[in-house]
């Protein structure tokens, strides 16, 4: 264990040594200063214009009732009415929250763990590991919308492969009690490969001497992984957590192609789209849903950022 702690502590020290002393206070040459200013300003302007301004406008709109006809002064300001309606008389809302959470837990429990396992197994340079890597990674290049369609061929009640093979009549996409799970399986098909690849890349970056040291100390495969490799991979683990959270909160495309996020497949992203994008133009109501989604995401983002900052401070 001391080995690892040492390596971890050494890395930043080396970096610090390489940087010039008091680098921040030293004045940069004019040209460099301009380069830095431009490189900070352009992304900043883009982020503000494309993310923060629309988000703020969305927030403002969520207190109004507007069908998109006429000028902005036709917006009827209704205070918290939209939020109240969403929570009390909008039947798809609570199921949607529930489904997003199920999505999150499911992705963590199954495809993420499976992806890690596959990565560890494939990392062992067994025969044909390249082939398996490609095979497992293949679904990742497909869009979620396409995946929804591909699985439709398996799941269709009357014409699907699964029911054909087993002679059953299960309505995989239509029965609200099971369609969420059917969709999650399809999502997992893609997600597993994604996590596997990220993890595999992380594993390749682990110093081989750590494993040797662990082996010399007499640790078995499993023990080596959990006590040595897994802690060293902390940055990758954090990335995986963030990816899983983001993927489950923005779940949208696959349910949208299946049934536009209705009937058992309600998720917040789809509800926003139903109210704003399609023929319906409940801009205020849809914005309120979007704000709720933003708030939920910020909870996770805050936890993540706090973790990252705390880590930097302890360094």
Binding to another protein (CB under 8 A) within 92-131 occurs at 92
Q: Does 300 bind another protein (CB under 8 A)?
A: no
* Closest separation in Å from C-beta 38 to another protein: 24
d(CA 312, CA 113): 27
Number of residues lying near another protein (CB under 8 A): 63
- The single residue among 40, 50, 101, 303 that binds another protein, judged by CB under 8 A, is 50
- The single residue among 119, 186, 197, 273 that binds another protein, judged by CB under 8 A, is 273
d(CA 82, CA 281): 14
Residue closer to another protein (CB basis): 7 or 159: 159
Residue closer to another protein (CB basis): 231 or 278: 278
Record the tokens describing residue 171, joined without a space.
Answer: 């309505």
Output the DSSP codes for 138-152: GGGGS-HHHHHHHHH
Q: Does 11 bind another protein (CB under 8 A)?
A: no
d(CA 137, CA 132): 8
Q: Compute the Cα dihedral for 263, 266, 270, 275 and give only its sign.
A: positive
List 77's β-bridge partners, or say none.
64
Q: What is the helix (H) or strand (E) element at residue 45, kind and residue range?
A: helix 30-47
- Residues 228-267 as b/e (b if ≥16 CB within 10 A, e otherwise) read bbeebbeebeeebbebbbebbbebbbbbbbbbebeebbbb
Residue closer to another protein (CB basis): 192 or 274: 274
> What Å distances lie between residue 262 and 32, 174, 198, 238, 254, CA to CA?
54, 10, 33, 33, 12
Q: Does 29 bind another protein (CB under 8 A)?
A: no
CB atoms within 10 A of CB 66: 19
- The single residue among 159, 209, 302, 307 that binds another protein, judged by CB under 8 A, is 159
Residue closer to another protein (CB basis): 139 or 202: 139
- The single residue among 17, 18, 89, 208 that binds another protein, judged by CB under 8 A, is 89
- The single residue among 123, 281, 301, 304 that binds another protein, judged by CB under 8 A, is 281
Residue closer to another protein (CB basis): 50 or 101: 50
Binding mask 230-269 toward another protein (x if CB under 8 A, else -) reads: --------------------x-xx--x--xx-xx----xx
Q: Does 43 bind another protein (CB under 8 A)?
A: no
């Amino acid at each position: 264990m001391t080995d690892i702690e040492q390596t971890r502590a050494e890395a930043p020290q080396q970096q610090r040594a390489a940087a010039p002393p008091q680098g921040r206070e030293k004045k940069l040459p004019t040209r460099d200063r301009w380069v830095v200013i431009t490189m900070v300003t352009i992304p900043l302007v883009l982020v503000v214009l494309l993310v923060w301004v629309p988000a703020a406008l969305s927030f403002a709109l969520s207190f109004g009732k507007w069908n998109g006809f006429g000028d902005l002064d036709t917006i009827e300001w209704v205070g918290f009415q939209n939020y109240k309606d969403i929570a009390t008389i909008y039947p798809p809302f609570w199921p949607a929250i529930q489904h997003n959470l199920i999505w999150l837990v499911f992705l963590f429990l199954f495809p993420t763990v499976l992806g890690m396992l596959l990565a560890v197994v494939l990392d062992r340079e067994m025969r044909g590991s390249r082939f398996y890597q490609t095979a497992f990674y293949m679904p990742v290049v497909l869009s979620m919308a396409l995946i929804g369609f591909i699985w439709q061929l398996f799941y269709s009640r009357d014409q699907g492969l699964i029911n054909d093979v087993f002679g059953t009549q299960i309505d995989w996409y239509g029965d609200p009690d099971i369609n969420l799970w059917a969709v999650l399986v399809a999502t997992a098909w893609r997600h597993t490969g994604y996590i596997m690849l990220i993890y595999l890349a992380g594993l390749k970056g682990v110093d081989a001497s750590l494993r040797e040291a662990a082996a010399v100390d007499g640790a078995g495969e499993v023990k080596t992984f959990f006590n040595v490799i897994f802690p060293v991979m902390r940055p990758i683990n954090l990335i995986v957590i963030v990816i899983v959270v983001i993927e489950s909160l923005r779940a949208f495309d696959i349910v949208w192609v299946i049934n536009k996020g209705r009937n058992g497949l309600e998720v917040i992203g789809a509800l926003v789209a139903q109210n704003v994008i399609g023929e319906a133009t409940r801009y205020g109501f849809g914005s309120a849903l979007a704000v709720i989604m933003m708030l939920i995401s910020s909870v996770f983002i805050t936890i993540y950022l706090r973790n990252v900052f705390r880590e930097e401070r302890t360094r």
